[in-house]
Chains A and B, each alone.
Chain A
Amino acid sequence: MENYNMNLTLKVWRQKNSAEKGGFQTYQVKNVSSEMSFLEMIDVLNEDLINEGKDPIAFDHDCREGICGMCSMYINGRPHGPWQNNTVCQLHMRAYKDGDTIVVEPWRANAFPVIKDLMVDRSAFDRIIQAGGYISVNTGSPVDANAIPIEKDKADAAFAAAACIGCGACVAACKNSSAMLFLSAKASHLALLPQGAPERKSRALAMVAQMDKEGFGSCTNTGACEAVCPKGISIENIARLNREYMCAAAVSDKG
């Protein structure tokens, strides 16, 4: 692979905290290697800012392997940048060429208030899981792991849904800021397994109620979420959740 260096113009959203108004700042970044990751490019810019006595850009990141779900940047109008099935920490600078201008914003959603610059508060996702995103089993002595055979196809489908990293790109991409892809991935993961079946109805109702309470919007099936999901979570999960929800709501007197 040919490596090259480039000069870039970055327009980055800067916002001191959740109370203050933010705005774009423009930076020139020189001699960026195509081998760098996008976040390493921001690291280099931050080193320069610190050396100039300025405030570095705050952003969330941790594992830098595309699995922890912490990184979250809206790059040129797309969560996690231009590559398919990718998180921004795994985006590498060979995606860009000399002279490019790159606009970087935080996730934008009422349910994800900005903490600082590109960092947002995604604790609403934790509260959706608290509402029912689990199987109610205590630590103890469950049956032997092989006591209940599970069809490979179902186990694989549950795994595909469980691969969600909770990054929130689906919400950021959605014009209604709906959290349905996130929620349905969890509901599907658990409902597809025999262990999760007993609670499937109550789970669907409780998680959807919590999602509404957090201020996420409704799903109108445009599929923007699926298109940007770094883990390729399918919107079939939303269809499955809708069926579960309808069934559950129809028979529930709790509504």
Chain B
Amino acid sequence: MLDSKIPSGPLESKWTYYKGHCKLVNPANKRKLEVIVVGTGLAGASAAASLGELGYKVKAFCFQDSPRRAHSIAAQGGINAAKNYQNDGDSTFRLFYDTIKGGDYRAREANVHRLAEVSANIIDQCVAQGVPFAREYGGMLNNRSFGGVQVKRTFYAAGQTGQQLLIGAYQAQERQVALGNVKQYSRHEMLDVVIIDGKARGIIARNLVTGELERHFGHAVLLCTGGYGNVFYLSTNAMGSNVTAAWKAHVKGAFFGNPCYTQIHPTCIPVSGDHQSKLTLMSESLRNDGRIWVPKKKDETRKAVDIPEEDRDYYLERRYPAFGNLVPRDVASRAAKERCDAGFGVGTTKQAVYLDFRYNLINKYGRTEASKHGIENPDEATLERLGKEVVKEEYGNLFDMYEKITGENPYEVPMRIYPAVHYTMGGLWVDYELMTNVNGLYALGEANFSDHGANRLGASALMQGLADGYFVIPYTIGNYLADEIATKPIPTTHEAFETAEKAVSDRITRLMNIKGSKSVESFHKRLGKIMWEKCGMARNEKGLTEAISEIQALRKEFWNDVRIPGIINEMNPELDKAGRVADFMELGELMCRDALNRKESCGGHFREESQTEEGEAKRDDANFTFVSAWEYKSESNWEMHKEELIFEVAKPTQRSYK
């Protein structure tokens, strides 16, 4: 039943073969075909622009006030590409292999290899659009390193790479809007998929300004709606990031793949109090130059700068000498938790570790600059001054952000950081063509499950979003739409549109009529607490079982006691949020069920029952080398389907970064 439609032939020629043999739609017919794109982040904007350029009639939806606000904009550190500009041994194969290994052998080989193949095209495309990547004095592009990798393949624009890439894609989309190929619907939220004769044929969207429901037809529907990290309430996601579009598709039949795979990012600014509304990431790129440590002594009372070298435990360098501070995110996060749980944490809450730049600021950058300027025997103050200038250029905006939030100057004192929910590897199940199991319904970018297995490597999310939108969907959608050229646009008076709109409208009315006593926010916070404590960095059978019943009870309470002010037909952010939180509560239960079912540890999914003697994640390849794809049956009732993962090239081994 689950056909991943992987082309035959050797791994490295599958994509070439596919492109040479997939069906095409001629330009005249493209004009007759309509495509709906939901979400305008890297995946959505690049898809909308590229499909518009090809001549399809595109409608692009986003809930924000402009497509340029999508949360891809907040990505900081960079984007990977197998360019080998540094002559350090990179290749398509290495990028493929690193990604499969980084994902702890739980991703699909064919998809990942394709991703590695198109990675280089992305950089070329972005430069042509005017994305101002960092350059060296010779005018060539610069690179930095990211976790889980021993080459420098990450392209970047200070700590604002996501912003620059998204603006590039946004501008390409706006150009198509001007040319009339893309129609843009901002402040619109998708609330259902319309399925006719087994094919996705449109959506129901709500105009968030007027509260009106709208019906939109499309020959195909693309969900580019990002991840669901906000199920934890506190995460590095934007406040509006939500699972609603993907969840509606799931309830309408699309399978949800690996929902429990969550990425906890090791370097975020720690929680400061109950008022906290979100957490802020400090880019992984900082681990190029920042060294992570905690005091060797429990209950250390000295300030960080007063603790001498011999009393510091650089625990990542100690445990993982080969990769040091640049181990993958899941490994770094668990190591931080281990130290804090053991009582070595720092700061007032003791739930933090130090990320310290002083060593490299002085020794790496200071000395290089001194040497460049011909300063012999520089003193420490000179090295510090010279080093600071370079660090400022590399990470200035991140250091400023840290200071604004914490009131501390990271050039002077080490940052305090702690892991936080950042990304979700799980998502809608898709085949090689990025189509869900519902015909004509696609999922791109973070919204799908396909490329990162159980743990995503840094700087790979931007790569995947743009690969899907610029270079994959333009081919694969043609293979589907070629058979749709005779399909006339279906009038939105069709019964399926009527029924879908009525269901959406009924649900909104039901929400508004509860008129209970507790705010939406309070429910979201309680959900987040259950998820973080029982389905977060470490999971076990008892906790997950408890979490499932706690979430069910919370959901019941929500539907009886939530209070939503205002009315339906107006701008009503509380109502928008209520719908999203209601969906998060259903998703939360599924995540716990998936985590409970997967009795192994892999990547970001750490089952305490399955660990090595050294406390590393222990996979169970004999029993769990599969993707779990969950089919929604009814409330709290799912059926799991398996897609077996076959590794022809990258043979699974116990991951080691030692």
Q: Do A and B come from one complex?
A: yes
Q: Which residues of A contact B (CB under 8 A)?
A: 1, 16-17, 33, 35-37, 39-40, 43-44, 47, 49-51, 53-56, 58, 60-70, 83, 85-86, 90-92, 94, 115-116, 119, 121-123, 125-126, 129-131, 133-146, 148-152, 155-156, 158-159, 162-163, 165-166, 189-190, 193, 195-196
Q: Is B239 engaged at the interface, CB distance under 8 Å to the other chain? A: yes
Which residues of chain A have C-beta atoms less than 8 A from B157's C-beta?
Answer: 159, 162
Which residues of chain A have C-beta atoms less than 8 A from B67's C-beta?
Answer: 126
Q: How many angstroms from the CA of A97 to the CA of B137 in the assembled complex?
A: 47
* Residue pair B132, A60 in contact (C-beta under 8 Å): no
Interchain nearest-CB distance for A180 vs B (Å): 19
Interchain nearest-CB distance for A165 vs B (Å): 7
A55 partner, pick from B138, B408, B565, beta carbons under 8 A: B565
A33-B273, A141-B124, A166-B68 known; A130 vs B174 contact (CB < 8 Å)? yes
* Residue pair A122, B130 in contact (C-beta under 8 Å): no
Interchain nearest-CB distance for B222 vs A (Å): 15
19 further A-B pairs in the complex, CB-CB below 8 A; given A63-B71, A126-B186: A1-B407, A39-B277, A47-B521, A54-B565, A58-B571, A65-B280, A70-B64, A83-B404, A115-B209, A122-B65, A126-B177, A130-B174, A137-B129, A141-B121, A145-B133, A152-B139, A155-B132, A155-B139, A158-B130
B401 partner, pick from A43, A66, A83, A134, beta carbons under 8 A: A66
Q: Is B85 engaged at the interface, CB distance under 8 Å to the other chain? A: yes
* Residue pair B83, A122 in contact (C-beta under 8 Å): no
Which residues of chain B have C-beta atoms less than 8 A from A115's C-beta?
Answer: 209, 571
Q: Is B313 engaged at the interface, CB distance under 8 Å to the other chain? A: no
Which residues of chain B have C-beta atoms less than 8 A from A55's C-beta?
Answer: 565-566
Q: Which residues of B contact A (CB under 8 A)?
A: 46, 49-50, 53, 64-71, 73-74, 83, 85, 121, 123-130, 132-141, 157-158, 160, 162-164, 167, 170-172, 174-175, 177-178, 184, 186, 209, 238-240, 272-273, 275-278, 280-281, 400-401, 404-408, 470-471, 474, 519, 521-522, 563, 565-566, 570-571, 573-574
Q: Which residue of B lies closest to A68 (CB)?
A: B69
Q: How many angstroms from the CA of A133 to the CA of B167 in the assembled complex?
A: 10
- Between A and B, 8 residue pairs with Cβ closer than 8 Å are A1-B408, A35-B273, A51-B563, A62-B69, A64-B277, A134-B174, A144-B124, A146-B83
Q: How many angstroms from the CA of A90 to the CA of B123 in the assembled complex?
A: 31
* Residue pair A130, B83 in contact (C-beta under 8 Å): no
* Residue pair A126, B83 in contact (C-beta under 8 Å): no
Which residues of chain B have C-beta atoms less than 8 A from A54's C-beta?
Answer: 565
Interchain nearest-CB distance for A110 vs B (Å): 17
Q: How many angstroms from the CA of A90 to the CA of B566 in the assembled complex?
A: 28
A50-B574, A134-B175, A158-B132 known; A149 vs B124 contact (CB < 8 Å)? no
Give 4 nearest A-B pairs by CB, closest first: A149-B139, A142-B128, A134-B171, A159-B132
Interchain nearest-CB distance for A163 vs B (Å): 7
* Residue pair A50, B174 in contact (C-beta under 8 Å): no
Q: How many angstroms from the CA of A68 to the CA of B236 in the assembled complex?
A: 13
Q: How many angstroms from the CA of A104 to the CA of B49 in the assembled complex?
A: 38
Which residues of chain A have C-beta atoms less than 8 A from B137's C-beta?
Answer: 152
Interchain nearest-CB distance for B417 vs A (Å): 15
B65 partner, pick from A36, A56, A83, A121, beta carbons under 8 A: A121
Q: Which residue of B lies closest to A117 (CB)?
A: B571
Q: How many angstroms from the CA of A115 to the CA of B187 in the assembled complex?
A: 11
* Residue pair A123, B66 in contact (C-beta under 8 Å): yes
* Residue pair B519, A139 in contact (C-beta under 8 Å): no
* Residue pair B238, A130 in contact (C-beta under 8 Å): no
* Residue pair B275, A69 in contact (C-beta under 8 Å): no
* Residue pair B474, A123 in contact (C-beta under 8 Å): no
Q: Which residue of A lies closest to B209 (CB)?
A: A115
B175 partner, pick from A66, A119, A136, beta carbons under 8 A: A136
* Residue pair B158, A162 in contact (C-beta under 8 Å): no
Q: How many angstroms from the CA of A92 to the CA of B627 in the assembled complex?
A: 44
Q: Which residue of B lies closest to A131 (CB)?
A: B178
A116-B570, A139-B172 known; A92 vs B404 contact (CB < 8 Å)? yes
A143-B124, A145-B141 known; A56 vs B275 contact (CB < 8 Å)? no
Q: How many angstroms from the CA of A119 to the CA of B187 in the assembled complex?
A: 12
A62 partner, pick from B172, B175, B239, B470, beta carbons under 8 A: B239
Which residues of chain A have C-beta atoms less than 8 A from B471's C-beta?
Answer: 139
A40-B276, A50-B563, A152-B136 known; A90 vs B401 contact (CB < 8 Å)? yes
Which residues of chain A have C-beta atoms less than 8 A from B565's C-beta?
Answer: 49-50, 53-56
* Residue pair B171, A149 in contact (C-beta under 8 Å): no
Q: Which residue of B lies closest to A135 (CB)?
A: B130
A149 partner, pick from B128, B138, B164, beta carbons under 8 A: B138
Which residues of chain A have C-beta atoms less than 8 A from B163's C-beta?
Answer: 67, 163, 165
* Residue pair A62, B238 in contact (C-beta under 8 Å): yes
A70 partner, pick from B46, B69, B127, B209, beta carbons under 8 A: B69
Which residues of chain B have C-beta atoms less than 8 A from A86's C-beta?
Answer: 404
Interchain nearest-CB distance for B381 vs A (Å): 25
Interchain nearest-CB distance for B49 vs A (Å): 7
Q: How many angstroms from the CA of A136 to the CA of B128 in the assembled complex?
A: 9
Q: Which residue of A lies closest to B167 (CB)?
A: A162
Q: How many angstroms from the CA of A193 to the CA of B67 in the assembled complex?
A: 24
A193-B132, A195-B128 known; A159 vs B158 contact (CB < 8 Å)? yes
Which residues of chain A have C-beta atoms less than 8 A from B405's C-beta?
Answer: 37, 90, 92
A159 partner, pick from B50, B64, B164, B571, beta carbons under 8 A: B164
Q: How many angstroms from the CA of A143 to the CA of B278 in the assembled complex?
A: 41
Q: How many angstroms from the CA of A148 to the CA of B137 in the assembled complex?
A: 13
Q: How many angstroms from the CA of A1 to the CA of B407 in the assembled complex?
A: 7
* Residue pair A135, B238 in contact (C-beta under 8 Å): no
Q: How many angstroms from the CA of A140 to the CA of B56 in the assembled complex?
A: 16
* Residue pair A142, B276 in contact (C-beta under 8 Å): no
Interchain nearest-CB distance for A234 vs B (Å): 15
* Residue pair B174, A44 in contact (C-beta under 8 Å): no
Q: How many angstroms from the CA of A91 to the CA of B403 in the assembled complex?
A: 11
Q: Which residue of B lies closest to A157 (CB)?
A: B132
Q: How many angstroms from the CA of A126 to the CA of B171 in the assembled complex?
A: 9
Which residues of chain A have C-beta atoms less than 8 A from B46's C-beta?
Answer: 139
Q: Which residue of B lies closest to A160 (CB)?
A: B132
Which residues of chain B have C-beta atoms less than 8 A from A129's C-beta?
Answer: 170-171, 174
B519 partner, pick from A50, A69, A166, beta carbons under 8 A: A50
Q: How many angstroms from the CA of A23 to the CA of B236 in the assembled complex?
A: 35
Which residues of chain A have C-beta atoms less than 8 A from B563's C-beta?
Answer: 50-51, 53
Interchain nearest-CB distance for A244 vs B (Å): 15
* Residue pair B53, A138 in contact (C-beta under 8 Å): yes
Q: How many angstroms from the CA of A144 to the CA of B141 in the assembled complex?
A: 11
Which residues of chain B have C-beta atoms less than 8 A from A43's C-beta?
Answer: 275, 277, 521
* Residue pair A62, B125 in contact (C-beta under 8 Å): no
Q: Which residue of A lies closest to B184 (CB)?
A: A126
Q: How many angstroms from the CA of A125 to the CA of B68 in the assembled complex?
A: 10
Q: How many angstroms from the CA of A121 to the CA of B65 in the assembled complex?
A: 7
Q: How many angstroms from the CA of A133 to the CA of B135 in the assembled complex?
A: 23
* Residue pair A195, B277 in contact (C-beta under 8 Å): no
Q: Which residue of A lies closest to B570 (CB)?
A: A17
A47-B521, A50-B565, A126-B67 known; A35 vs B124 contact (CB < 8 Å)? no
